Amino acid sequence: MNEFDLIGRYFARPARRALLGVGDDCALLAPPPAGEVLAVSVDMLVEGRHFFAGVDPHTLGHKALAVNLSDLAAMGAKPSWFTLALALPRADEGWLAAFADGLFALADASGIELVGGDTTRGPLTISIQVAGHVPAGGALCRDGAKAGDDVWVSGRLGAAAMAVRHRAGELALPVEVLARCAERLDRPAPRLALGERLRSHASAALDVSDGLVGDLAHICEQSRLAAEIDWTCVPVDPALQDMPEPLRQRAALAGGDDYELCFTAAPAERDAIAAISAELALPLTRIGAMRAGTGVTVRDASGRLLDLGRGGFDHFSSP
């Protein structure tokens, strides 16, 4: 199978919304409708760095797209197109078929279309660029939080980080706990509907990919404010309920890979946000507030400050 057979067999599908999709030198895409702008993001997944060697290819196809869709969700954008740059050590047909299945299942469910890419031999690396539309001036940026805003987070945190620690051999989770945690790590659900619904209610948002505290610090920096979090309000995944508190704190506050949305909103928005939570059947939890100052602080049940170190995962500070 040569490169063109591979592309034709697994990645070329007839263009639907694009004017021209996979197969020519460029894709041809119509600009967004009047009053909307393009939201564009790219993420790279490297074997051994972002996922474990030998991970199930169907899962990987899902996850590679999901982490990018999560960025669109965090801006409040509606997905439209994506491109896929793939470095493969070899052309393994079973692997490619499963990877493409996982990828396209999520693409179809999310209304996003693959319009092009690049394929080369090399260490397994998947780079996806996504594009979406968002009303001009309506995107959920990181710099919009105001002092007095509430801090919210979607879903429940910490399970994905526990699966990472299990797979890295740092601890051994019971079978049922591992199943739940691995599902959260392997098949994150990008919060696209939430992002779109939050556009008229949230003041700032981002997706939690590197850990809640480290990610929220970006909203603090860009909005020039501090965030105060109440640990007792943080929604920890029920799979972690029997674990010691320090482990739960580290996973929920500083563990990565949750792909939930963290956002800020004025207190006047509480009822509207509760209604969105009910409508989407997705927990939305108020965990703290934005204040004058800098940085993120977290207080435990007795009011003591938790020491979180750097609080997030940084690719260049870890060994």
Where do contacts with ligand ADP occur on this chain (CB under 6 A)? 7, 11, 22-25, 84, 86, 114, 116-119
Residues 86 and 117 sit within 8 Å (Cβ to Cβ): yes
Residues 213 and 275 sit within 8 Å (Cβ to Cβ): no
**Which CB atom, from 100 or from 276, has the smaller least distance to ligand ADP?**
100
Q: Which does 23 bind (CB under 5 to 8 A by kind): Mg ion, ligand ADP, none?
A: ligand ADP
Rounded to a whole number of angstroms, the CA Rg of the chain reads 20
**Which CB atom, from 65 or from 261, has the smaller least distance to ligand ADP?**
65
Minimum distance, C-beta of residue 40 to ligand ADP, in the bound complex (Å): 16
User: Token digits for 152?
Assistant: 């919210």
Residue with tokens 């739940």: 180
**Which CB atom, from 116 or from 158, has the smaller least distance to ligand ADP?**
116
Minimum distance, C-beta of residue 42 to Mg ion, in the bound complex (Å): 16
Phi, psi of 247 (to 5 degrees): -70, -40
Site size for Mg ion (CB under 5 A): 1
**Burial environment of residue 251 by CB neighbours within 10 A (0 to 12, 13 to 18, 19 or more):** buried
Per-residue DSSP letter, 11: T
**Which CB atom, from 5 or from 118, has the smaller least distance to Mg ion?**
118
Minimum distance, C-beta of residue 8 to Mg ion, in the bound complex (Å): 14
Which amino acid makes up residue 206?
L
Minimum distance, C-beta of residue 191 to Mg ion, in the bound complex (Å): 32
x-or-dash pattern for Mg ion, window 62-101, by CB under 5 A?
----------------------------------------
CA distance 285 to 288: 9
**Which CB atom, from 117 or from 132, has the smaller least distance to ligand ADP?**
117
Interface positions, 116-135, toward Mg ion (CB under 5 A): 118
Nearest Cα neighbor of 282 from 254, 265, 266, 261 is: 261
**Which CB atom, from 57 or from 158, has the smaller least distance to ligand ADP?**
57
Minimum distance, C-beta of residue 115 to ligand ADP, in the bound complex (Å): 7
Q: Which does 116 bind (CB under 5 to 8 A by kind): Mg ion, ligand ADP, none?
A: ligand ADP
**Burial environment of residue 176 by CB neighbours within 10 A (0 to 12, 13 to 18, 19 or more):** exposed
Q: Which residues contact 30 (CB under 8 A, 6 or more apart)?
A: 17, 19
Q: Which does 192 bind (CB under 5 to 8 A by kind): Mg ion, ligand ADP, none?
A: none
User: Token digits for 156?
Assistant: 């429940």
Q: Which does 170 bind (CB under 5 to 8 A by kind): ligand ADP, Mg ion, none?
A: none
* Segment interacting with Mg ion (CB under 5 A) among 37-45, 110-118, 180-188, 256-264: 110-118
CB atoms within 10 A of CB 249: 21
CB atoms within 10 A of CB 239: 23
Q: Which does 93 bind (CB under 5 to 8 A by kind): Mg ion, ligand ADP, none?
A: none
Per-residue DSSP letter, 269: G
**Which CB atom, from 118 or from 314, has the smaller least distance to Mg ion?**
118
Q: Residues 111, 82, 282, 278: what is their CA dihedral angle, to the nearest 10 degrees?
A: -40
Q: Which does 271 bind (CB under 5 to 8 A by kind): ligand ADP, Mg ion, none?
A: none
Interface contacts to Mg ion, rule CB under 5 A:
118
